[in-house]
Amino acid sequence: MRTLVPAETLVYLETNDLAAALQPIVDSKPFTEVATSKPDFSALKGVQVAVAVTGFETSEEKVNDEQSIGRVRPRFVAVVDTHAWNNQAMAFVEHKLGSFVRDIYNAEPQLEKSDKHGGKYFTWTAADGRKAYALVTDSLIWFGNDETAIDKCLAVRRGEAESLITTGKVQAAEPGTLARGYVSTDGVAQIASLASVKVAAESTEDPDIRSSVVAVLPELIRSSASDLSWVSRAASPAIEDRFSVTRPQPVEKGNELVAELVDSFFDDLEGLTAEEVVAVLGVRRTETATAPNTVHQREDRRTATTAERRINSDLGFFGWLIAQLSEG
């Protein structure tokens, strides 16, 4: 799948078997406590998925005369190799992806179909102007919220642009890998800038302090991490996630703010509930009380140039990613 996304990809996520990646989540104790049934993933067995984030867009939504909410929209494309017949891939897009888009838009979007790029092209348009796109060629599906991201992937496939594999940063997956991800140096820089705006807005009302945070925090993050990787594996018990950071230089003691930012992310991961995952997978909830993501083990390792955190939990980071889909 690394050969199907562009070399300049900022964030990359991949699974070589979507059913295998999802199964440990629905088999977990928290999930079974709140779901009335388990989804059938037999149709997803052997389906490979790669998600490439190629950029970010920011916007500001006015709440009132004095307040506004900043929103971040990643430009992404998901490449799916169904290893199925073309008509089966077409049916998946029309029914499964169409239903997903409908849920995200919370309304029935307008659908247009056309012949394009040697395949069938789908465009969904919401009432507010948001769009989603999909292309089906043979067993392959490209799906995203940005046409240019799909075009970049198609240029890679035609040999007109380099793929992610040429960077040497994402090696072949090790046996037993359920899912994995990578954030490039440019990706770290862009996420750092976005994170600084969020931290500044939430930490103080003082415009001068906010400006200082926005100016200083990105540089602190970029000096603390040149790239990041994540690997998920089945473990006993539950799911093991390993997050690794390559550090361009030893982290100075004064970088407490960066450490707090990292810890806040893991607090969010550990605060995940099974209900959030169940809601996205479309399995009806029971009246059971909140079932949290139990963390069984946490371990940190550091060297002069790397930092690693391993977390063994019931729902895992992939479960957290699924829950984010409910936010649209």
Give the pLDDT of residue 189.
Answer: 82
Task: Give the phi and the psi of residue 279 in degrees, each rounded to 5.
Answer: -60, -40
pLDDT higher than 50, residue 275: yes
Give the pLDDT of residue 254.
Answer: 45
**14-35 per-position pLDDT tens digit:** 999 999 999 999 999 999 888 8
How far apart are the C-alpha atoms of 269 and 247, rounded to whole Å?
Answer: 23
- Percent of the chain surpassing pLDDT 90: 44
Measuring CA to CA, how many Å separate 45 from each of 32, 48, 86, 89, 305? Answer: 21, 9, 17, 14, 38
How far apart are the C-alpha atoms of 38 and 41, rounded to whole Å?
Answer: 9
Give the pLDDT of residue 302.
Answer: 83
Contacts 24+ apart (CB under 8 A), 128-136: 130/105, 132/101, 132/104, 134/93, 134/97, 136/86, 136/89, 136/90, 136/93
Q: Which of 216-220, 243-247, 295-299 has the lowest mean pLDDT?
A: 216-220
Higher pLDDT, 103 or 9: 9
When pLDDT is cut at 50, 70 and 90, the band that residue 135 belongs to is: very high
pLDDT higher than 60, residue 272: yes
Region 173-177 average pLDDT: 91
Mean pLDDT, the chain, integer: 84
Number of helices and strands in the chain (H, E): 10, 12
pLDDT higher than 70, residue 106: yes
Whether 227 and 184 have beta carbons less than 8 Å apart is answered as yes
Region 128-140 average pLDDT: 92
Region 176-199 average pLDDT: 83
Q: Which of 9-13, 229-233, 260-264, 308-312 has the lowest mean pLDDT?
A: 260-264
When pLDDT is cut at 50, 70 and 90, the band that residue 264 belongs to is: confident
H or E stretch including 143?
Answer: strand 140-144
Task: Give the phi and the psi of residue 285 in degrees, each rounded to 5.
Answer: -80, 160
- Percent of the chain surpassing pLDDT 70: 82
Q: Which of 6-10, 69-73, 151-155, 245-249 has the lowest mean pLDDT?
A: 69-73
Quick count: other Cβ atoms within 10 Å of Cβ 257?
Answer: 17
Amino acid (1-letter code) at residue 130: R
Torsion on CA atoms 235, 9, 19, 103, rounded to nearest 10: 120
Q: Which residues pair with 122 in a beta bridge?
A: 113, 134
pLDDT higher than 90, residue 198: no
Reading the block at residue 184, the tokens are: 């490039």
List of E strands, 153-290: 177-183, 227-234, 239-246
Give the pLDDT of residue 256.
Answer: 64
Print burial letters for 222-252: b (CB count within 10 Å at least 16), e (below 16): bbbbbbbbbbbbbbeebbbbbbbbebeeebe
